[in-house]
Amino acid sequence: MHEFEVISVGDITTDALVRLSEEHAHVYEDDRGQWLVMPFAAKLPFEEAFVMEAVGNAGNAAVAMARLGLTTSLITNVGGDRHGIDMIHALHEHHVDTRFVRVNPGRNSNYHYALWYRNERTILVKHEEFDYHWPALSDAEIPAWLYFSSVSEHTADYHERVADWLEANPGTRLAFQPGTFQLRAGPVRLERIYRATEVLVLNREEAVQVTGGLHGDLHGLLEGLHKLGPRTVVITDGPDGAYASDGSRHLVMPTFPDPGPPLERTGAGDAFASTLVGALIMGKPLDEALRWAPVNAMSVVQQVGPQQGLLTVGALEAHLRTAAEEYRPRPF
């Protein structure tokens, strides 16, 4: 028997989210992208602020899957400061097991700042350099699934240790939602991780980055990701929904209708990815998992932060009962 149905792996952080006044901040666009602009060397009023603990890809995924009722633990690092203690307490409150949270004495915990303007956010990040160790899991602690996501750039050896553990424990399935530094490392450096992956979830721009394929060629992107080793591949595409392949079918899944304009988009991708994986862990087929995932993403963007809007299974299924008949994956 598995003590844990899933263990999430990756960095966590405390985010300080500051809602900017539209009177004192602006966005403009040029050929390099969109830019957030505020007066320089000024004291600017802001609307409100929120502090969110134990967030980040892996933390959000752990909370999402625990909220769905899965027995969930988290392998991560915090500093020996007050923020680290607060993050451990927050995980306990969300029913996430914390025995594998490693406290690093004398180090600061990750603490990021997010500037919230309209319904988007710009995040200022600084990943602390922890001494990453892979824990010795007992036979009972070996999970049915591992959910691996964002870690810092100082973790090349850590990825090898994760790959070693997966090869030594072939009964554990891997879900991989690569973070910024893992995407930057590229598929060659992370070849063993991609090859061990059961389910890979990333967005369309990330799929282009990983495969070198064309943004407009979704079939090519799906096939390119399969060639790296993952058995199931899912590409999210914002308001255009998501695309998935199980190796034999290419499917397109629409978004779940928002009940109102999104309040704040932090964590929508994490909610989608972890809910899809959570449904698969529960034994749902891919088609049903694709119906579950957009519902939690919709709920998250109606609340502040990445975790407040996460749903229980009962609440999620209640939304599904109201869905239109065309809300389902279709071949494309």
User: CA 76 to CA 60: how far, in whole Å?
Assistant: 12
Residue 40 lies in a domain: no
What are the tokens at 176?
Answer: 């991989």
- DSSP H helix total and E strand total for the chain: 10, 16
- pLDDT over 80 (residue 87): yes
Q: In which element (H, E) is residue 58 found?
A: helix 57-67
| Residue 188: predicted pLDDT | 97
| Residue 119: predicted pLDDT | 84
- pLDDT over 80 (residue 281): yes
User: CA 330 to CA 85: how far, in whole Å?
Assistant: 46
State the amino acid at position 1 in one-letter form.
Answer: M
pLDDT tens digit sequence for 89-103: 999 999 999 999 999
Report residue 201's pLDDT band, with 50, 70 and 90 as the boundaries: very high
Q: Determine contact, residues 198/174, Cβ cutoff 8 Å.
A: yes
User: CA 143 to CA 211: how far, in whole Å?
Assistant: 30
Residue 203 lies in a domain: yes
In the numeric block, the tokens 């591992």 are attached to 146
pLDDT tens digit sequence for 151-160: 998 899 999 9
Report residue 276's pLDDT band, with 50, 70 and 90 as the boundaries: very high
Average pLDDT over residues 56-71: 98
User: Cα dihedral sign for 102, 103, 108, 110?
Assistant: positive
| Burial track 200-214 (b if 16+ CB lie within 10 A, e otherwise) | bbbbbebbbbbbebe
Q: Determine contact, residues 210/225, Cβ cutoff 8 Å.
A: yes
CATH of the domain at 172: 3.40.1190.20
**What is the DSSP-derived secondary structure letter of residue 123?**
E
Report residue 262's pLDDT band, with 50, 70 and 90 as the boundaries: confident
DSSP 1-18: --S-SEEEES--EEEEEE
Report residue 264's pLDDT band, with 50, 70 and 90 as the boundaries: confident
Grouping H, G, I as helix, E, B as strand and the rest as coil, residue 270 is: helix
Q: Which domain holds residue 101?
A: 6-11+55-106+127-331
Query: How many other C-beta atoms lie within 10 A of the C-beta of residue 110?
Result: 25
State the amino acid at position 134 in one-letter form.
Answer: W
- pLDDT over 90 (residue 1): no
What are the tokens at 110?
Answer: 């990750």
Residue 41 lies in a domain: no
User: CA 8 to CA 68: how far, in whole Å?
Assistant: 14
User: CA 198 to CA 196: how far, in whole Å?
Assistant: 7
Residue 115 lies in a domain: no
| Residue 263: predicted pLDDT | 87
Report residue 60's pLDDT band, with 50, 70 and 90 as the boundaries: very high
| Residue 195: predicted pLDDT | 98
Query: Which residues make Cβ contacts (< 8 Å) with residue 317, sequence separation at least 6?
Result: none
User: CA 232 to CA 242: how far, in whole Å?
Assistant: 13
Q: In which element (H, E) is residue 59 found?
A: helix 57-67
Grouping H, G, I as helix, E, B as strand and the rest as coil, residue 38 is: coil
| Residue 265: predicted pLDDT | 85
Give the total number of structural domains in the chain.
1
Residue 26 lies in a domain: no
User: CA 10 to CA 179: how far, in whole Å?
Assistant: 9
Mean pLDDT of the chain, nearest integer? 96
pLDDT tens digit sequence for 98-150: 999 999 999 999 999 999 999 888 999 998 999 999 999 999 999 999 999 99
pLDDT tens digit sequence for 291-321: 999 999 999 999 999 999 999 999 999 999 9
- pLDDT over 90 (residue 222): yes
